[in-house]
Amino acid sequence: MAGVSQSSESVREGLEGVVVTATRLSHVDGEQGRLIVAGHDIEQLAERLDFEQACELLWATSGLESAGAALRPRLAAARAEAFERLHGLGDALARENAMDALRAAAAHLAENASPAQLVGALAVFSAAHWRVRRGLAPIASPPGARHSEALLAMLGLPHDAARSRALDAYFVTVLDHGLNASTFAARVVASTHSDLVSALVAGIGALKGPLHGGAPGPVLEMLEAIGRPERARQYLDAELASGRRIMGMGHRIYRQRDPRALVLERAASELERALAASDGEQSERDARLRGRLELARAVERAAEQVLAARHPERPLKANVEFYTAVLLSALDIDASLFSAIFACARCAGWAAHYAEQRHHGRLIRPASHYIGALPG
Ligand code: COA
């Protein structure tokens, strides 16, 4: 373009492969299929720590409140405080879309709210939204509960130890994941020295988009449409033939199976075993979960085969969302809430990135290549 000295060769659409910062928080190794969070493989982290402990580790790594009191009572206090203030949110929670409701409610938080207050509040808002939309009164968090148990209880769902462990495994698994779109959005806001609540609202806005965290609902629909393992192959072939993508398969970075899929598949298996060992009233649920897990495994195998035949050059394997659908639906969480539940965990990652960016970061201000009209 005459008179403009930029070159279009330097444009990297989607910032793919562009390294914009250094972080100690998490590392996504796409070639090896490995996710390291705060120095630990995600499989070990999810096995050994509950959500509160994983947050403490991540937050200490980011330089955020490493010496504070244990997180569990602070989150409990934050949930109680957010519950007390629900009446001040107007009709924010009554919005139809859960992410709209979360974004509107989060905007009411005090500008100087702490990370624990944000995490506690988001769980309360998610559960209250779900209940208000159904004409039910919000339920307060049971005192002394861990965060995962509290969220199930506030939703009015069964919240025994096995279920709360399963939700914990999910929370830890999705706590942080490199510079994904919502984390980047939160870091951009932090880089301007704006407040943490503004970064949270930006993160929620990015996560609302269907290209980020939106696949578990469609995965569930796909499993329901397939119904029986022997129908998987035919269904998937027809999907690909009509140009549609197989939900829960493929990833921008991973060239192996997403390691989070393994953690969540194991968590679903453990939940199934725990439900099978408990008494008769739950046996119907247990059978339903066992059936869904078997179906999911069969569909994953068939999907790998059809995708390998179609794309021999590019491994397309299960991503985190494949087994998220199985696990969250086994906890009786409705598909319309999946993204909000994701936000309940990922907001702790956003807070860690916010702190890291404020400590070490520079104003994020990329350039663009002008292709518009020139004057005169
Ligand atoms: N089903 C069918 N084909 C797929 C596919 C899927 N799930 N994922 C990728 N492909 C194909 C594309 O059609 C494309 O083929 P083409 O070159 O013949 O057009 C090729 O693989 C590369 O896809 P591309 O969109 O460039 O890869 P990406 O890195 O941008 O995409 C995803 C990553 C996650 C967006 C993509 O794999 C996808 O859409 N998956 C399904 C949705 C999903 O599960 N999202 C949750 C992600 S955690």
pLDDT in tens, 332-368: 999 999 999 999 999 999 999 999 999 988 999 999 9
Least confident segment among 63-72, 133-142, 203-212, 274-283: 274-283
Q: Each residue of 27-55: pLDDT tens digit?
A: 999 999 999 999 999 999 999 999 999 99
Catalytic residue among 52, 56, 239, 321: 321
Q: Which of 313, 206, 205, 329 is nearest to 250 (CA)?
A: 313
Residues with CB under 6 A from ligand 1: 215, 245-252, 307, 311, 314, 316, 319-321
- pLDDT given for residue 1 in this prediction: 47
Q: Cβ(98)–Cβ(106) under 8 Å?
A: no
What global pTM score does this model have? 0.93
Q: Which of 46, 138, 133 is nearest to 98 (CA)?
A: 133
Cα 299–301–303 angle (5° rounding)? Answer: 65
Q: Each residue of 146-205: pLDDT tens digit?
A: 999 999 999 999 999 999 999 999 999 999 999 999 999 999 999 999 999 999 999 999
Instruction: State yes or no: pLDDT of 224 exceeds 80.
Output: yes
CA–CA distances in Å: residue 179 to residues 23, 26, 30, 116, 215: 9, 9, 13, 22, 19
Per-residue 3-state assignment (H helix, E strand, C coil) for 93-106: HHCCCHHHHHHHHH
Q: Tell me the β-bridge partners of 28.
A: 35
Q: Cβ(201)–Cβ(106) under 8 Å?
A: yes
pLDDT band at residue 286 under the 50/70/90 scheme: low
Residue with CA closest to ligand 1 atom 42: 247
Write the DSSP string, 126-157: HHHHHHHHTT----PPPTT--HHHHHHHHHTS
Q: How far apart are CA 22 and CA 238, in angstroms?
A: 43
Residue located via tokens 């959005």:
185
Residue with CA closest to ligand 1 atom 2: 245
Q: How far apart are CA 129 and CA 280, in angstroms?
A: 32
- pLDDT given for residue 252 in this prediction: 87
Q: Cβ(247)–Cβ(218) under 8 Å?
A: yes
- pLDDT given for residue 288 in this prediction: 74
